[in-house]
A and B are shown apart, each in its own frame.
Chain A
Amino acid sequence: MSAAVSPTRPEVLLHADNLTRRVAEKLIVTDVSFEVKTGELLGIVGASGSGKSSLLRLLNRLDEPTGGTVYLDGQDYRLLKPRELRRRVGMVTQRPYLFPGDVASNLRFGPAQRGEAIPDEEVELLLMQVGLPEFAAQEVSVLSGGEQQRVSLARALANRPEVLLLDEPTAALDEESKLGIEQLIGELVRDHGLTCVMVTHDRDQARRMCKRVILLDAGRLVQSGSAVEVLGA
């Protein structure tokens, strides 16, 4: 599981410093700076096309910033090997993109990339945390949308990330599955001290889940503060 908050962990775990991304002369993200505190769930909100997902992809360097950088635990992330950075900054996308095979093989994928084999007990523990006990041997092709997203979450957690990036993790789910995933993420943050950055277009969801949010418009950060201050009660 993710590292719990320890007294030695820094108050600010992730610091985006003037992040900018320009693609073919078009500015996708412009001079965005913010901090993510250890153990908090920060929301990134904004209308479609405001640059939320593009900003999130800069945080684990899936895309390269054309300006600015990110500091992870005080260290410029360009100094880290990309594979090490992405182990420490995990990501869950809107579509789960599970790999063909069973649930256990999906959970083992990340650790296997650095030659680590996680035992059956740890697989079961991860699945229990996401509410899918005894799903290890299930083929991913038979899972529902909500179950797939839970497996995707467990797969990201198997890497023991310090920060988890969530890109509209409930956007493709029905109402019941959506509330289940919201509750699960809330528990991971509250009970296990996981640090999360979540992109959502759903303002109600942001109000329910995030204490602090940043609001993007046309790739620029236009407001940041508590969810109530930024989004209203």
Chain B
Amino acid sequence: MLDGWCKVVRPWRCWVLKSLISSQTALGLAQAGIASLMAFAVVLLARRRNVHLESDATIALLRGIVQIVAVGSILALWLKAPRWSSVFLLAGMVVAAGSISAKRAKNIPGAAKVSIYAIAAGAGLVTAIMTWAGVIDTAITSLVPVGSMIIANAMNTNGLALNRFRSEVLAHTGEIETALALGATPRATIGRYAETSIHSSLIPAIDNLRSLGIVWIPGLMTGMLLSGAKPLYAAIYQFVVIAMILAASGLTSLLSTTMIQAHAFSAADQLVLKGAE
């Protein structure tokens, strides 16, 4: 894999690193270090503009490397397990994804539960149907990476949807309470803000599909090309994955914004998602 990558990029630079480091794991860590330094350089650049990302970026980079190494290690062991066991790994990812994206819905009670249910239903249903239809192979090496891609994108969409929903409600408290005071149901008062949230949360997924091949060549296709797949099949399969991501993200966004609406109100139809009183 690394050799193939080196052929695609500048061979002499890979050669410099490879001549210094013989172990593949150590080489990977060195590459991760260089990439992290690049990210941190941008963080320092942002600091000069009074945008302080140091703490968030450091924690995110550390978490990212620890988590991905942990998953890589687990996958290495998991490859020997029966195929059906990947369901447990994906279920664990759904729970983690739900908890992470729920943080975008600050002050909305029950956001974590809603996020887990929505991602499980959205990503789970699309992954299950596509696996049943034979689009995703049941081998752990295929199901887990593709499933995780779908879950991760559903998580991002869910976070965007909940964050936008919260912002819309906070920005329109007066309109919502006016409608409540006129005898409207909570759902009637908040429906159009949920629709705006769904729409805006899906912009990245739609743009990804729209710009596929023109602006970017995703990692999966690159990986398939490097591992010897025919370019046309790799391209079509990449489209399949991005389309699956759109389907899963859309379903997740629809479900989470539908479910979260009930949590913005009390049993007596009072808006409980508000700024400071």
Q: Does the CB pair A113–B185 fall under 8 Å?
A: yes
Is A83 located at the chain interface by the 8 A CB criterion?
A: yes
Q: Mark A82-118, 1 if CB is under 8 A from B, else 0.
A: 1110110011010101010000000001100110000
Contact call A61/B277, Cβ cutoff below 8 A: no
Task: Using A23-B277, A93-B174, A97-B174 as known contacts, say yes or no to A62 and B180 having CB atoms under 8 A apart.
Answer: yes
Q: Mark B224-268, 1 if CB is under 8 A from A, else 0.
A: 000000000000000000000000000000000000000000101
Chain A residue contacts of B268, Cβ below 8 A: 61, 64, 78, 82
Judged by a CB distance under 8 angstroms, whether B182 is at the interface is yes
Contact partners of B174 in chain A: CB under 8 A: 93, 95, 97
**Binary CB contact string for chain B from 160 to 179 against chain A (1 if under 8 A, 0 otherwise):** 00000000000000110111
Q: Chain A's nearest CB lies how many Å from the CB of B178?
A: 4
A113 pairs with B184, CB closer than 8 A: yes
Binary interface profile of B, 188-217, with partner A (CB < 8 Å = 1, else 0)?
Answer: 100000000000000000000000000000
* A155 interfacial contact with B, CB 8 Å: yes
Q: Which residues of A contact B270 (CB under 8 A)?
A: 61-64, 82
User: Judging by beta carbons under 8 Å apart, are A62 and B183 in contact?
Assistant: no
| Residues of chain A in range 40-84 having any CB-CB distance to chain B below 8 Å | 54, 60-64, 78, 82-84
Q: Which single residue of chain A is at the shortest CB-CB distance from B173?
A: A97
Instruction: Say yes or no: A90 contacts B184, CB within 8 Å.
Output: no
Say yes or no: A155-B181 contact (C-beta < 8 A), given A64-B266, A95-B174.
no
Q: Which residue in B178, B188, B277 is a CB contact (below 8 Å) of A113?
A: B188
B178 lies within 8 A of A97 (CB): yes
Contact residues on A (Cβ < 8 Å of other chain), bracket:
20 to 34
B269–A60 touching, CB < 8 Å: no
A4 at the interface (CB under 8 A from B): no
A87–B183 touching, CB < 8 Å? yes
Chain A residues in 8 Å Cβ range of B271: 62
Question: Is the pair B277, A110 in contact by a Cβ cutoff of 8 Å?
Answer: no
**Chain A residues positioned under 8 Å from B182 (CB to CB):** 86-87, 90, 109-110, 113, 155-156, 159
Is the CB–CB distance between B277 and A159 below 8 Å?
no
Question: Size of chain B's interface in residues, with CB distance under 8 A?
Answer: 18
Is the Cβ of A110 less than 8 Å from the Cβ of B183?
yes
A residues bordering B, Cβ < 8 Å?
A: 23, 28, 54, 60-64, 78, 82-84, 86-87, 90-91, 93, 95, 97, 99, 109-110, 113-114, 155-156, 159
**Cβ distance B113 to chain A, nearest Cβ, rounded Å:** 23
What B residues does A159 contact at CB under 8 A? 182-183
* Cβ–Cβ contact A93 & B183, under 8 A: no
Does the CB pair B175–A86 fall under 8 Å?
A: no
Distance between Cα atoms of A78 and B269 in the complex (Å): 12
Closest chain A CB from B175 CB (angstroms): 5
Question: Can you identify 15 A-B contacts, CB atoms within 8 angstroms?
Answer: A54-B277, A61-B268, A62-B270, A64-B268, A64-B270, A82-B269, A82-B270, A84-B183, A90-B181, A90-B182, A95-B174, A97-B178, A110-B182, A113-B182, A155-B182
Closest to B174 in A: A97
Q: Are B177 and A83 in contact (CB under 8 A)?
A: no
Task: Give 20 new A-B contacts, CB below 8 A, not counting A54-B277, A109-B184.
Answer: A61-B268, A62-B180, A62-B181, A64-B270, A82-B180, A82-B270, A83-B269, A86-B182, A86-B183, A90-B182, A91-B178, A93-B178, A97-B174, A99-B175, A109-B179, A109-B182, A113-B185, A113-B188, A156-B182, A159-B182
Nearest-CB residue, chain B, relative to A88? B183
- A-B interface, 3 closest residue pairs, ranked by CB to CB distance from nearest: A110-B182, A82-B269, A97-B178
Instruction: Report whether A86 and B180 are in contact in the complex, using a CB–CB cutoff of 8 Å.
Output: yes
Residues of B within 8 A of A97 (CB): 174-175, 178
Q: Which residue of B lies closest to A61 (CB)?
A: B268
Q: Which residues on B sit within 8 Å (CB–CB) of A155?
A: 182
Residue of A28, A64, A97, A159 with most partner-chain B CB within 10 A: A97
